[in-house]
Amino acid sequence: MAFFLETLLGGLMAGMLYSLVALGFVLIYKASGVFNFAQGAMVLFAALAMARFAEWFPRWTGIQNPVVANVAAFLIAAAIMFVVAWLIERYVLRHLVNQEGTTLLMATLGIGYLLDGVGQTVFGSDIYKIDIGMPKEPIMAFEGLFPGGILINKEDLYAALIAAFLVSLLSLFFQKTATGRALRAVADDHQAAQSIGIPLNRIWVIVWCVAGIVALVAGMIWGSKLGVQFSLITVALRALPVVILGGLTSVPGAIIGGLIIGVGEKLSEVFLGPYVGGGIEIWFAYVLALVFLLFRPQGLFGEKIIDRV
């Protein structure tokens, strides 16, 4: 029982990290109707920027304080993501305004490759460390209830808290602010939003920038856990099923979806895996998404997809 709970909790934590990446997908889709296949590349790019700047900052300025270096690196990386967002809007999105979704999807694939190549050229392609002072030791909780307690990874716990905080911030942003409203209008209908005076271009830069910062936070946490390396891109691919489950247009859906996938992966690996040869983590999320696609394509919380004649 304790083992089951441990696995469950571990899954929840892992799920939280997926949610972070999925959030970026949802944001961009909600506000521009574009599915951003480049989100993974953005996570990697942002993480690389932060890792390298954290390294270079002390060298350039002589300030050895690691907290200062990390904060500075974070800010610089955020600024870089803003520039990236601006470039993407200016040179890609603006030219593809009324194209169909398929074209935009493939364009984001191309952007992903671009970011990947540029990132690794500029920042290097080794494995880098991000050290933001996350505690690495596990704690044993609930020692009273279960003998020996349940193993909880402190790092995962902090990550989950950060993610939860970010999500609430974003939800508030979308629901309560005027910009958030404008973003939702744009997601609904580009041309209609434009015709009532919403500055499409500026909105898109804002959205991609916010998604970039979400990617940065995700990259920071994942990077702290795994090290910043190329495989971060494939992590993003694992977050795709999360948005299918949760619904492409729902921020809470991204969270719940992430938790379900995280738990599902861990539980299925531990309890189902041995019967079928193990290693089913790589496809569990996807097959679950597949089942949803067949029976409920809009996910748990998304809006129904309507096809008009």
Partner 1 sequence: MFYRENGQFKTTYRADQQIFPIAQDRWAVLLIIAAAFLVVPMLASDYMFRAILIPFLIMALAALGVNILVGYCGQISLGSGAFMAVGAYAAFNFFVRVPGMPLLVALVLGGICSAAFGILFGLPSLRVKGLYLSVATLAAQFFSDWMFLRIKWLTNDSPSGSVSVSGMQLFGLPIESPTSKYLLCLGILVVLALLAKNLVRSAIGREWMAIRDMDVAAAVIGIRPMYAKLTAFAVSSFIVGIAGALWGFVYLGSWEPAAFSVDLSFRLLFMVIIGGMGSIMGCFFGAGFIVILPIALNQFLPVLGALLGIDISTAGIAHAELIIFGGLIVWFLIVEPHGLAKLWSIGKQKLRLWPFPH
Provide the binding-site residues for partner 1, judged by CB under 8 A: 35, 91-92, 95-96, 99, 101-103, 105-107, 109-118, 120-121, 125, 237, 240-241, 244, 248, 276-280, 282-283, 286-287, 289-290, 293-294, 297, 305, 307, 309
- The distance of closest approach from Cβ of residue 37 to partner 1 in the complex, given in angstroms and rounded to an integer, is 9
Task: Tokens for 77, please give them.
Answer: 């990386």
Question: How large is the C-alpha radius of gyration of the chain?
Answer: 20
Q: Which is nearer to partner 1, 74 or 123 (CB)?
A: 123
Dist CA 217 CA 21 (whole Å): 9
Choice between 182 and 258, CB closer to partner 1? 258
Mutual angle of helices 66-91 and 39-61, in 10-degree steps: 140
The CA–CA distances, whole Å, from 277 to 106, 267, 271, 286 equal: 35, 15, 11, 18
Q: How far is the CB of 146 from partner 1 (least distance, A)?
A: 33
Minimum Å distance from CB 184 to partner 1?
19
Minimum gap (Å) between residue 59 Cβ and partner 1: 22
Cβ closest to partner 1, residue 6 vs residue 116 = 116
Cα 20 to Cα 66, 119, 165, 197, 217, distances in angstroms:
25, 21, 11, 32, 8
Is the Cβ of residue 9 or residue 26 nearer to partner 1 in the bound state? Answer: 26
Residue 131 to residues 126, 163, 201, 227: CA-CA distances in angstroms? Answer: 16, 18, 36, 9
Tell me whether residue 162 or residue 205 sits nearer to partner 1 (CB atom).
Answer: 205
Give 138's strand partners: 153
For the CB of residue 275, give the shortest distance to partner 1 in the complex, in Å.
11
